[in-house]
């Protein structure tokens, strides 16, 4: 494994992934019953935005840096409210500051949002990343750090003893058949734990493999899928990360409406070039919905 998230922490893809994860956890907390978050590719847990790796790419400046208002102005109040669980976790990691020097990864964000009765399993195969992950979250009694292959870990961990769970699947996509592995892993996981909320991240470089992935999932009859995609530039170069997506299975019933408020603002703020951003928000009973550009969305909402 060569992928190191320290080069990419806090970028636009993290913003989308962690904003959605935070909304899902907020929904799960509406019931008193405990639940478990399982993070299959947890990474190091926390990242220094002043590190040589982060400074080399500067990706966070086009991600969380823009969301916290560096030259972009305050968020609309409704969006600020919906993003509050996520942004509070980021601010907490920075002593309350809106000028981030550190970025919490998904296990740290999840742990900051969990209640005393909830639990986190953070799995990371890479030894050095796992050592840092242990330092980041392993001292909390609610957290357990593991070092298994992600798909082996899911077999061992599902179903969770709480019978309520959020499963975040965020592979590094270092191999060409990663989407096929995700498809197979999801099929196996759903047989073990059909009622879990699954949040699956995927990159969008060339849209064609992603379209094939969605078609394959339709054949699996995946329950209640919600497709959430954010493009920061048109996919004219299939070698670049032009956008990313999330497949949310058994999505909270409130999530689509919440994202319909959040995504226009994210696509506007995070676009590489003004008005080049777009998003897609599609539930299981909809097909053929085009991407909506930030500019078009503003036109629609102003009429």
Catalytic residue IDs: 170
Task: Give the residues across from 244 on adjacent strands.
Answer: 203, 230
Closest by Cα among 128, 135, 127, 147 to 39: 147
DSSP the chain: ----GGGTTTSHHHHHHHHHHHHHHHHHTTSSS--EEEETT-TTSEEETTSHHHHHH-GGGGTHHHHTTTTT-PPPHHHHHHHHHHHHHHHHHTTT-SS-SEEE-HHHHHHHH--TT-EEEEE--SHHHHHHHHHHHTTSTTEEEE-S-HHHHHHHH-S-TTS-EEEEE-----STTHHHHHHHHHHHHHHH-TTSEEEEEEEESSHHHHHHHHHHHHHTT-SSEEEEEEESS-S--TTS--EEEEEEET--TTHHHHHHHHHHHHHHHH-SSTT--EEEEEETT--SPPPEEHHHHHHHHT-
Alpha-carbon span 265 to 17, nearest angstrom:
15
Task: Please say whether the beta carbons of 1 and 126 come within 8 A.
Answer: yes
Token pair for 75: 């968020």
For tokens 């993290």, name the residue. 14
């Amino acid at each position: 494994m060569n992928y190191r998230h320290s080069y990419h922490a806090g970028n636009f893809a993290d913003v989308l992934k962690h904003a959605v994860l935070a909304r899902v956890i907020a929904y799960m907390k509406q019931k008193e019953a405990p639940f478990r978050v399982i993070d299959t590719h947890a990474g190091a847990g926390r990242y220094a935005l002043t590190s040589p790796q982060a400074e080399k790419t500067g990706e966070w400046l086009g991600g969380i840096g823009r969301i916290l208002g560096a030259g972009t102005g305050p968020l609309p109040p409704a969006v600020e409210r919906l993003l509050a669980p996520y942004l509070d976790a980021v601010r907490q990691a920075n002593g309350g500051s809106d000028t981030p020097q550190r970025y919490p990864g998904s296990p740290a964000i999840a742990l900051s949002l969990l209640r005393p009765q909830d639990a986190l399993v953070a799995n990371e195969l890479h030894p050095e990343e796992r050592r840092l992950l242990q330092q980041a979250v392993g001292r909390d009694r609610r957290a357990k750090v593991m070092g298994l292959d992600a798909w082996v870990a899911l077999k061992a961990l599902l179903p969770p003893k709480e019978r309520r769970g959020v499963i975040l699947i965020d592979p590094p996509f270092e191999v060409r058949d990663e989407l096929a592995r995700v498809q197979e892993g999801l099929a196996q996981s759903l047989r073990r734990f059909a009622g879990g909320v699954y949040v699956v991240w995927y990159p969008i470089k060339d849209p064609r493999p992603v379209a094939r992935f969605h078609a394959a999932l339709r054949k699996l009859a995946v329950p209640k899928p919600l497709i959430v995609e954010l493009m920061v530039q048109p996919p004219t170069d299939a070698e670049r990360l032009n956008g990313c997506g999330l497949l949310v299975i058994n999505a909270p019933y409130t999530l689509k409406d919440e994202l319909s408020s959040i995504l226009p603002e994210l696509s506007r703020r995070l676009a590489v070039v003004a008005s080049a951003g777009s998003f897609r928000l599609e539930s299981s009973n909809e097909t053929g919905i085009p991407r909506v550009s930030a500019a078009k969305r503003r036109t629609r909402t102003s009429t």
